[in-house]
Amino acid sequence: MRGHALLMTLVLASAPLARAADAPGSDDPYLWLEGITDDKALAWVRERNAVSVKELAQTQGFKKLEAEILAILDSDQKIPFVEKIGGHYYNFWKDKDHARGLWRRTTLDEYRKVEPKWEIVIDLDALAGAERENWVWRGADCLRPKYQRCLVSLSRGGADAVVVREFDLPSQTFVKDGFLVPEAKSSVSWIDADTVYVGTDFGPGSMTTSGYPRTARVWKRGGELKAAPVVFEGKPDDVGAYAERDHTPGFERDFFHRFITFYTNEQSVLRDGKPVRIDKQDSADAAVHRDWLYLQLREDWTVGGRTYRSGSLLAANFDAFMSGKRAFDVLFEPTERTSLAGYSPMKSRVILNVLDNVKSRLYVLTPGRNGWVRAPLPGLPEFGSVSAEPVDADESDDYFLTVTDFITPTTLALGTAGEGPPEPLKSLPAFFDAKGLVATQHEATSKDGTRVPYFQVGSRNIKLDGSNPTLLYGYGGFEVSETPYYSGGRGKGWLERGGVLVVANIRGGGEFGPSWHQAALKANRNKAYEDFAAVAQDLVARGVTSVPHLGAEGGSNGGLLIGNMLTTYPQLFGALVCEVPLLDMQRYNKLLAGASWMGEYGDPDKPDEWAFLQQYSPYHNLAKGKAYPRTLFTTSTRDDRVHPGHARKMVARMQEQGHDVLYYENIEGGHGGAANNQQAAFMAAMAYEFLWRELSDKD
């Protein structure tokens, strides 16, 4: 789907590793720790890594847990999720024998079998060995309709920045002297077999202040990349800009996207050689598929004599809309406790994914003479997360259906919209013992009276005596909804040991639509933290746990959440795990991709906005002599999205003030924290081992 999904792809791909620029906060005594690969900074990292490894990773219990999680990650019984490219179904696969992974393919008939036969297309371990590069897979874009050439993206060490290389599918080799874009934050897409749109780092003026491509160029085969002419550009203070061609047969169109902020954008279509703006609100996300224009609103919109509510999904004939007509069909309108989690246009239908009090409901919409007919997708569970993805949105109404929850292994099915129940294809084995476990939903009341739902997973016969080790997880930002999903590692590392898992649906997320997210933007960020604290307090009030047994975990924006639990609500927790976090909110917009998030947090360079940002900048709110729960901070040297300097400086300041804190930085791994299954297993085992030691048997 085009629109905001592609914005997320663009924005969540980040910059090459670099030193920090001078900025406010340059009097910070720990500024030197922002030198990502400086010898002095890495020596500091290795010293603290050694302390954490000695304490957490040397016991037989840790090694057993690490091995169990690794076995889950390497299991050949995982579901090999596939993508249809031409006549084949492609999968990227990692296991114990292929740490970096295999890009492989099969047919649908083979895929239906318990053990399909796979044809290996790219062996990333072999490629990395031959080229002496630490390659990590980042995907492939193959040119339709023949699907003979692909643009393959490869990352060094798990960074978001990629090298883009042209690959020939028939010969299964990289094209000599083919399209090659050096390591950068790039947007590259096919126009035809000999031409691509490309946005990348062309030098001064080619990137936005957020660090993303500002221009889109047309690059022809054999031409010099730097000489490619500019066909579209944004402004220097935009988040980014890019171009793409829709190759749907009969609906070929070229689109240009300018992302003004993370939540506002302009979109244009090429008409008679010139970009023509799609007349919509900047805050609305537009997607064009075949005949239809889809608009997802973040604000109320009055147009054509009618007002459409924020959170609604509208549809209109695209050509009629571009000619000036403003007749819309309302495909979804939110209520107080329902929101649109997503939608999937297909050849002749649309599947809606609706969250009803954070429970998934899927509907099939079919256009007709009297509007769109809506029917529930059959055969779905009452509780859990369900998603439907088109198999080939341009050619059929087939979809892959994924069903998952906290304690039931994930299943995959294949269906056709408008027909009967889908055909079961694959399912996970039980990676942990879920006997006696139950998932329930509860509500806490936040400081301002808002009802905040949360999921609780634990024993059916739980004793409400305050003694249960409980792990509270949250995110609360960027319209990301926290819904149930099956995790073998989490089950093995926490639930199987007798721990209680809680997932909080706090404001800042998308669980109840744009208003739920917007309620915690910028100056109102404290609402997300108040919600999370309210859930913690509710767990104690209900007797599920008590402060010494209650821990919390979060990463990235969720790491900022945990940082605020540490500095603002330390009395509520026995231990915290803070992963790849934002913590220095005075300098975050000067570090790597940070400037792109000012629509979420605010601009610290503006005094009136720094006034509220300072209130939830954990790095600036630490206090010597204050009692804090013991905390483990983790990050990655190769994280080129959230700068590792955030975690480094936080720990340095805490240690200076005499606080007991642990730190571990993976030298590889990118924003996900790990570049392969071995590293992922180690990082997960370290977090669970730390939390279990701190939260169990603490009476």
Q: List, by residue number, the catalytic residues.
A: 556, 671
Residue 495 per-residue DSSP state:
I
Number of residues assigned to the chain: 699
Neighbour count for residue 477 (Cβ, 10 Å): 26
Rounded CA gap, 297 and 293, in Å? 13
Q: Mention every residue, 6+ apart, whose C-beta is less than 8 A from residue 607.
A: none
The dihedral over CA atoms of 308, 313, 318, 322, expressed in degrees to the nearest 10, equals 30
Q: Which residue has the tokens 């057993």?
A: 64
3-state secondary structure of 446: coil
Rounded CA gap, 358 and 455, in Å? 9
Distances (CA, A) of 211 to 232, 237, 556: 17, 10, 18
Burial annotation 522-540 (CB, 10 A radius, 16+ → b, else e): ebebbbbbbbbbbbbbbbb
Question: ∠ CA(344), CA(346), CA(348), 5° rounding?
Answer: 130
Rounded CA gap, 663 and 687, in Å? 11
Kindly tell me the sign of the dihedral angle through the C-alpha atoms of 17, 22, 28, 29: positive
Element holding 316 (H helix, E strand):
strand 313-317
Residue 15 per-residue DSSP state:
P
Q: Which two tokens stand for residue 515?
A: 């208003």
State phi, psi for 622 to the nearest 5 degrees.
Answer: -70, 145
